[in-house]
Structure 1
Amino acid sequence: MVNKLILLDSPLLLLESNEVENLLTYKRRTIEHMLQVEASQEPSRVYSLKQLLQRLLKSNSHLNEECGELLLQRGTTKVATGLVLNRDQKISWPENSFDFLSRELYAHSIRKLQAHVLFIKAVHGYFDVRRESYYSKESLSFMIHTLKSTLKERFQFVEVPGNHCVHMSEPQHVASIISSFLQHKHMLTA
């Protein structure tokens, strides 16, 4: 049983009712594409730390060098000639990184949730990087409203300065908030 749930700048793509019917078609295409990529994959490439860090920072402008090195520490394996990426690059594709839910299913799931929830949003985080998308903002508003109205005192929302990786680049912005949340004695209802 989950007693406390912490969401750190968590993206969730909520589908409108008319979009839900296309979800299976979209998922089918994603799976077919992944199978094609897997069939044509070459053996793992070996990189130097410098090469991987440059590649990571180039494709993730919100990361600083220190965060990039932290991610590479846990995301690579040292081999005789350099470093090999541990993770499957396909998980970084947007179609594999997000959960797609209808608003109805999201609201239903939240009603079943018994845990206390802390949602920490970075000021320049996931939802704000995509500023041009009204849908992302509206989706975030819907998520927060649903959590707040359903969970009431079991929900806490905090916005902190920083970007999506604020927990790594500026941990002082989130550490005390998380620590306080975890140390507070929340009693679950039976």
Structure 2
Amino acid sequence: MAVAAGTSGILRRSLHKIMAEGSVSCSKNFPTKEFEEIKFNVPWGHIAGKWYGPRNTRPIVGFHGWQDNAGTFDTIAPLLPSHIGFLAIDLPGHGLSSWLPEGCSYHSVDYVTFVLTLMREFGWDKISMLCHSMSSINGFVFSSLFPEKCDLYIALDILKPVLQPKDILVKGVAEKLETLLKISERKLNKSEPPSYEFEQLVDRVHEGSGKSINKDFCQFILKRNIQPSAKDPTKFCFTRDERLKSLLFYALPQDIVCDLAARITCPHLFIKALQGPYYEPKSNYDEVINVLTKKPTFEYHQIDGTHHVHLNEPKKVADIINPFINKYRPQ
């Protein structure tokens, strides 16, 4: 979806207002919903998030994809059931949350541990999760490792840990470790990261997502992901941790993934975007789907849309999610 003439200037001004006032900016085509910015301490800093709706019950927790942030749920959050809260989290290294300490690297399993940290912070013995992309992988692992701690799990577009050929896996790990070292060396210089005009940022997010995020919706990711450049206040720098580019994902064989799928006991909804990627042979998905469909509380839906269909076309996704939430987390 192209940005209409004159829109980018409006978006830039809106972004400055958002960053200055912490207000919400939604497209006129989408409803808004009041939320509270939250922040809580963790051993390495703090975690930020957006809490929509009631605070007197345990919310559905939204976990975003790789290099995205809580803004990925900005358009769908107002459409979710009003009787239950929704807490969209910025994962460590993303959005407005703290980076991991210097000298550390990111691994998917860190985010599984983080779910336990979040539950401990709020005193929850169970968690309900709405996950997208990378977080769908982590939600799959969490709900299988701790089936007694998860009472509802919704996954958007990605089903399971991705199985990679051995040669690609080994080469990829080696390249990521070398990249991580280069990033650490640049950090020692404490130089400002590259800065861009707002239109360039929109293009980078759009292209970086494989054109999955429509250009008109890139603002929802950008407003928690950039800050004005100290060198040129008309430009912006990305604020996410650059080490995320070298994030290490699981390297689990297919038989173990199937065993993990069998361990999931909570109500489980998986929505696959038909124009979204698989990142591996579809037959791997089908095998795991066959394991999951034996469970009476598993639902599988396919919808037209890209990897970020929940952001671009939220009503289409909410129409599937809401009956599932109302069934298993009723008022």
TM (norm. structure 1) is 0.76
2:155 to 7, 14, 17: 7
Give SS of 1:4's match: strand
Among candidates 231, 243, 259, match of residue 108 of structure 1? 259
CA distance in 1, matches of 2:172, 2:205: 28
**How many residues in Structure 1 have an aligned counterpart in Structure 2?**
174
Match in the other structure for 1:84: 237
For residues 28-67 of structure 1, the aligned pairs below 5 Å read 30-40=176-186, 42-59=191-208, 60-67=210-217
Residues 24, 105 of structure 1: alpha-carbon distance in 2 compared, 3 angstrom cutoff: farther
Establish whether residue 148 from structure 1 lines up as the match of residue 293 from structure 2. Answer: yes
- Corresponding letter in the other structure for 2:281: S
Q: Which amino acid aligns with 2:308?
A: C
**Residue 195 of structure 2 aligns to a residue in which SS?**
coil
Gaps of 5+ in 2: 1-148
Alignment partner for residue 75 of structure 1, among 201, 225, 230?
225
SS at 2:236 equivalent: strand
In 1: Cα distance, 2:319 partner to 2:262 partner: 28
Q: Distance in 1 between matches of 2:172 and 2:245?
A: 17
Seen in structure 2, the aligned counterparts of structure 1 residues 8 and 26 have a Cα distance that, compared at 3 Å, is same
For the structure 1 residues 25 and 161, does the alpha-carbon distance in structure 2 shift closer, same or farther, using more than 3 Å as the test? closer
1:124 Cα deviation after fit: 0.7
Question: Residue 154 of structure 2: SS of its match in structure 1?
Answer: strand
Q: TM-score, normalised by structure 2?
A: 0.46
Q: How does 1:102-181 map to 2 (within 5 A)?
A: 102-127=253-278, 135-149=280-294, 152-181=295-324
Q: Kindly, what percent of the aligned residue pairs are identical?
A: 24
Q: Deviation at 1:104?
A: 2.1
Mean Cα displacement is larger for which, 158-167 or 35-44? 35-44
* Aligned residues of 1:62 and 1:163 also touching (Cα < 8 A): yes
Whether contact under 8 Å (1:57, 1:64) holds in the other structure is: yes
* Matched AA of 2:157: D
Q: Determine if contact 2:261/2:288 at 8 Å carries over to the other structure.
A: no
Aligned to 1:3, the other structure's residue is in SS state: strand
Gaps of 5+ in 1: none
Compare the two structures and name the one with the higher helix fraction: 1
Calculate the aligned-residue CA RMSD, in Å: 2.9
